Structure 1
Amino acid sequence: MFGDFYITAWETFRYMFKRPVQWREFLHQAWFIASVSIVPTLLMSIPFCVMVIFQINLILSEIGGIDLSGSGAGVAVIREIGPIVTVLVVAGAGATAICADLGSRKIREELDATEVLGIDPIQRLVVPRVLAATVVALFLNGLVTAVGIVGGYIFSVYLQGATPGQFVSSLSLLTGTSDLAIGTLKAAIFGLLSGLVGCHLGIRVKGGPKGVGEAVNQTVVVSFILLFLANSVITTLTLHS
């Protein structure tokens, strides 16, 4: 399985830099993934951000530092919450939709038909979907970051007694452009990995409709494992760099 996944990933990266580029398919898939991901992202980001920021503010209030809640919100949202929520949504909604689509094409023998016509399914179908998942993950990360900061401000100022000016001024105390860049990099890698997993399992479906369902379930599990592993590695490397 791992060997086949590496082959799929290598072929995908190889075809990314070859013409013709399937722009129409890319735009269609980006819109499709965004349409199934935006609402879950909003529904997850608000309670997720509020829960974490509430815990941080409790600690700060115990030491008399509630006016530094902006720093805690910035660290939590920009470094971790944005990419993590992106992980959950892109893998749980986007990658599974990709897998189901390609798996359905596989059992209907559409992929075999494209190969007979001399069209490589990797270049025609996989590359646009992987690129679309990567781009949508970037936008979702920005959306979660914005929602998290605004939600953290409202929650900290109006419910936990933080000073509005201090909250805003302390946002950049522990976080900066480099942290935003790392969070964006995480989101891009997460989107890339989830897209690769969904495409790989989709184009290798076996066993008819039952196989499609099993592949979708495997997509969720494998994506979560890879994405949390990647998050741990990136976080460890960036914190010690």
Structure 2
Amino acid sequence: MTTPTRRLPGLDRVTAAMREFGRGFSLGLDVIVAIFKRPFQAREFIQQFWFIASVSITPAILVAIPFGAVISLQLGTLTSQIGASSFNGAASVLAVVQQASPIVTTLIIAGAGGSAICADLGSRKIREEIDAMEVLGVSPIQRLIVPRVLAAILAAVLLNGLVSVVGVAGGYFFNVVVQGGTPGAYLASFNALAQLPDLWVGMIKAFIFGFLAGVVAAYRGLNPRGGPKGVGDVVNQSVVITFLLLFFVNTVITGLYLQLVPAKGT
């Protein structure tokens, strides 16, 4: 008589999570392949980009100002305590450009644009529009998902530049006006320690984060369960999953950058 196999607690959840990750990764690869296929849905791409940019630009600017201010104030206090106030400008600007700007940008895009993408695709799915497209031989990935993912990427890259400028300007204002810093020292320290790869790594992060936000939103939107309530659930899930992936990938990219790219002057 055989003894029934006992499953380990939580094994089913781990297996299901790995299966979901594999499906999402497969969708990401399909999107990359479909980008190079024709015809390209230029009209859909422009509409989606304009929508994402219009709902994200104001929140991104409003969030960038306090981010730059907090970083500048905190670093200004610390550098004053250790007698290195002359390096406050470099530390503040590099923190904004490398870390805060791409993170703030993608959080806004995932919360505003990504949730809208997920809700739109989820609604189409429960109305069986996507199934009808597949029956007619139209690829939903090429027709619907690729324009939205590319729009999220372009919006992330452009907004990242805007948030960087606003964050640096906010940090400069609070350091010079509030903390009584020297404008010349603030800019001189930045010029002395910053380098072009510091800007590129922020843009690369924004590019990758925008891609992840678009793919996650599309994947969850294509897999709603339970009708309209399921659409609301997958919208929440897409935002949370994007945030988790964002911080994990940011840690990996930052670690690789600091190990592979030597600091200026070393």
When normalised by structure 2's length, the TM-score is: 0.88
Which residue number corresponds to residue 176 of structure 1?
A: 195
Q: How far, CA to CA, are the matches of 1:63 and 1:149 in structure 2?
A: 23
- Give the length in aligned residue pairs: 241
C-alpha separation between the residues in 2 aligned to 1:192 and 1:15? Answer: 14
Q: Which amino acid aligns with 2:121?
A: L
- Matched AA of 1:110: E
Cα deviation per residue 1:145-187 (whole Å; 9 max; x = unaligned)?
0001111111111111111112112212222110000010001
The 8 Å contact of residues 74 and 172 in structure 1, kept in 2 or not, is answered as no
- State yes or no: 1:55 paired with 2:74: yes
User: Could you tell me how far apart the structure 2 residues matched to 1:3 and 1:148 are?
Assistant: 37
Pairing partner for 1:106 from 122, 125, 132:
125
Tell me by how many angstroms 1:212 deviates.
0.3
For the aligned residue pairs, the C-alpha RMSD in angstroms reads: 1.1
- Whether contact under 8 Å (1:53, 1:76) holds in the other structure is no
Distance in 1, Cα, partners of 2:86 & 2:252: 32
1:30 equivalenced with 2:49 (yes/no): yes
Matched, 1:158 2:177: yes
Aligned match for 1:131, one of 128, 141, 150: 150
CA drift at 1:195: 0.4
Note the C-alpha offset of 1:53. Answer: 1.3
Which of the two has higher C-alpha Rg?
2
Counterpart for residue 14 of structure 2: none
In structure 1, the residue matched to 2:204 is 185
CA contact (8 A) 1:74 1:174 kept: no
Structure 2 gaps, min length 5: 1-19, 261-266
- Counterpart of 1:223? 242
**Which protein is richer in helix relative to its size?**
1
Match for 1:96 among 110, 115, 128?
115
Segment drifting more, 40-49 vs 125-134: 40-49
Deviation at 1:74, TM superposition (A): 1.4
> What is aligned with 1:19?
38
Equivalents in 2 of 1:208, 1:24: separation in Å? 29
How far the C-alpha of 1:10 sits from its partner, in A, is 1.6
Question: Per-residue deviation at 1:192?
Answer: 0.3
Contact 2:34 2:141 in 1 (8 A): yes
TM-score (norm 1): 0.97
Percent of counterpart pairs with the same letter? 52
- Offset at 1:42? 1.2
Q: Following the alignment from structure 2 to structure 1, what is the Cα–Cα distance between the partners of residues 177 and 84?
A: 16
- 1:116 paired with 2:135, answer yes
User: How far did 1:3 drift?
Assistant: 2.1
Q: Distance in 1 between matches of 2:111 and 2:192?
A: 34
Structure 1: gaps spanning 5 or more residues: none
| Range with greater deviation from structure 2 (2-11 or 13-22) | 2-11
User: Offset of 1:213 from its aligned partner?
Assistant: 0.4
